[in-house]
Amino acid sequence: MGRPRKRHVQVELQLPKLDKNKQRRGGYRPGAGRKPNGERACASHAKRTPIKKRNPQHVTLRVTNDLGWLRRLDMYAAIRCALQAVLFRHEEFRIVHVSLQNSHLHLIVEANDQASLANGLRAFQISAAKRLNAAYSRRRRVPRSGRVFTDRYHCENLDSVRQVRNALAYVINNWRRHRDDDGVYTLLEGRLDPYASGLAFGGWREAIPPDVPLPEGYEVPHVSPPTTWLLNQGLQKATTISMFEVPGPRKIAVVDH
């Protein structure tokens, strides 16, 4: 028999507490972690809570400052085309309502699960970014490409009739909160925001004429009809939304400025 091999005992490796720059490595450190893609974070990068198919979602997307204001006809046309691009391609993801503000977008969406929501929003953001860059390039006569949306989207789960009603009023009447309703470019003599999907909403307190006069060259945004109970039968149990309602502030990670 051969000589038995010596058993090696594994010992714990002792790492120095400080590196060559006299800094600690590992563990919690103030300021550590991923930084936002922009001047401020849009939403936390913590793991998202799984969503349920029956609950609509209120999504906020912020754009970079150098892109300029979204409430322009060419920017609206770009978003409208992006909505159309994802309208029939993602059966498990639906954009039900939308509004364009100067620096961000508000969406009311439905999705079967978290993966459907993420994939649908990714497709919409890619399509919108290409079209927004093209619109900017044509208007400024300066080629623009690259990042359009500054950071991770913020998503609010809507799980009650009251939440859905208030979020919907916040989205389609958001221009009144920003005091953009005193401009000359409006619908129905200042009743509806032309940069939102108010014409697609059938639950207004005020009646909408069957043949709404539209400005020359204006087209209604492409949105999907709602399928969830909360956005259909549930919304009928809530207080109706007026075209003149001014939404109050919402406690979300992104506040409107």
Characterize 17-40 residue by residue with b for buried, 16 or more Cβ atoms within 10 angstroms of its Cβ, and e for exposed.
Answer: eeeeeeeeeeeeeeeeeeeeeeee
What does the pLDDT read at residue 87?
85
Burial 42-76, CB ≥16 within 10 A → b, else e? bbeeeeeeebeeebbbbbbbbbbeebbebbbeebb
What confidence category does residue 257 fall into, taking pLDDT thresholds of 50, 70 and 90? very low
Give tens-digit pLDDT for 107-117.
999 999 999 99
Percent share of the chain, pLDDT over 70 = 81
What the block records as the tokens of 23 is 């800094």
pLDDT digits (tens, 9 = 90+) for 151-185: 788 999 999 999 999 999 999 999 999 888 888 88
Residue spans per domain, the chain:
57-236
Give the side-chain half-sphere CA count within 13 A for 84: 10
> What are the tens digits of pLDDT across the range 86-124?
987 878 999 999 999 999 999 999 999 999 999 999 999
The predicted model gives 125-146 an average pLDDT of 95
Burial tier of 192 (Cβ tally within 10 Å: 0-12, 13-18, 19+)? buried
Q: Provide mean pLDDT across the span 62-70.
A: 94
Other CB atoms within 10 Å distance of the CB of residue 120: 23
CATH for 57-236, options being 3.30.70.1290, 3.40.50.720, 3.40.50.150, 3.30.70.890: 3.30.70.1290
Tokens of 71: 């409430």
pLDDT value at residue 58: 97
Q: Tokens 């309208």 belong to which residue?
A: 87
Are 76 and 100 spatial neighbours (Cβ–Cβ below 8 Å)?
Answer: yes
Determine what percent of the chain is predicted with pLDDT higher than 90: 65
User: Once rounded to an integer, what is the mean pLDDT over residues 19-38?
Assistant: 60
Kindly state the tokens that stand for 238: 């809530």
Output the pTM of the full model. 0.80
* Res 113: pLDDT: 94
